[in-house]
Amino acid sequence: MTSLSRGFALFAALTLASPVVLAADGDGKAKTPFAVEQDEGQLRKALQELTSPPPRQAGAHRPKDPHAALSPDSMVRVALQHHEEGRPALALETLGDALKRYPANGELLNIRGSLLLQQGQTAAALSDLEAAARATPDNPAIYVNRAQAYRRFKNESKAMADLDKAVELAPDFVAARFNRGSMHFNAGRYKEALVDFERCAAVDPHAPPPWFNLAMTREQLGDKPGAVSDLKRFLELTKTKEWREVAEKKLQDLAAKPKE
């Protein structure tokens, strides 16, 4: 899998990750750190590095076909640049043009599927992601993204199978581990969730969200000291005011609980 594919799939997973029921506000809605844009900064920065436009070439932007000389990877970069700069329709148009020239390119299909997911076009996204999996079956990013589409259709078993496949192909792929851990948590499989969240924290110890989810998982498993330690680590890392307040409140709740 290319670094471009891994980077964008991770961005997509951050945006679309299945929510863990960790904390709730007054109306009972579940919260997860991945829902907070500010906490995606590190990974968004990495994405921006991946999506910087290619060097201009003489004649590269002629009205007839501005992308005629570009490779599939370069077309992906152009599309993602459009997306990051607030031109989602143009991003999809760019990918559509690329797929006319490279109809079985798994990378192009994966990226377009991811963008379609973000725009709520789940059926079209699933079609692209299924074609991407046929074209490049060894790319774990595709399975992470396709799992999100399956979850939109309430097909939890296929979503889990895709995340299992992604982890099998790339055991340290944080997006796959985090989303699978979220599904395990929501299903009450806390030991399995713990394994996935611990791996996320080991692979990227400076990313705040896995530490919060680790704390909530340890609490469910009766490990209060571990939950407190993980929340403190989360507070060391996150800069988002809302999530600092959530974590501090949770620490207070844990301190107030009687010892079992």
Cβ 181 vs Cβ 197: under 8 Å: yes
Pair type for strands 23-24 and 30-31:
antiparallel
pLDDT of residue 260: 57
Residue 24: strand, helix, or coil = strand
What was the pLDDT predicted at 202? 97
pLDDT at 180: 95
pLDDT of 187 reads 93
Q: CATH number of the domain at 98, please.
A: 1.25.40.10
pLDDT of residue 73: 86
Q: Which of 139, 61, 134 is nearest to 103 (CA)?
A: 134
Q: What are phi and psi of 65, to 5 degrees?
A: -155, 95
For the chain, what is the domain count? 1
Separation CA 109–CA 106 (nearest Å): 5
pLDDT tens track of the chain, all 260 residues? 443 333 333 333 443 343 333 322 333 333 343 333 333 444 444 334 433 333 444 444 444 555 556 888 888 888 888 988 899 999 999 999 989 999 989 999 999 999 999 999 999 999 999 999 999 999 999 999 999 999 999 999 999 999 999 999 999 999 999 999 999 999 999 999 999 999 999 999 999 999 999 999 999 999 999 999 999 999 999 998 999 999 999 999 998 876 65
Residue range of the domain that includes 158: 3-256
Comparing CA positions, the residue from 110, 189, 182, 124 lying closest to residue 153 is 124
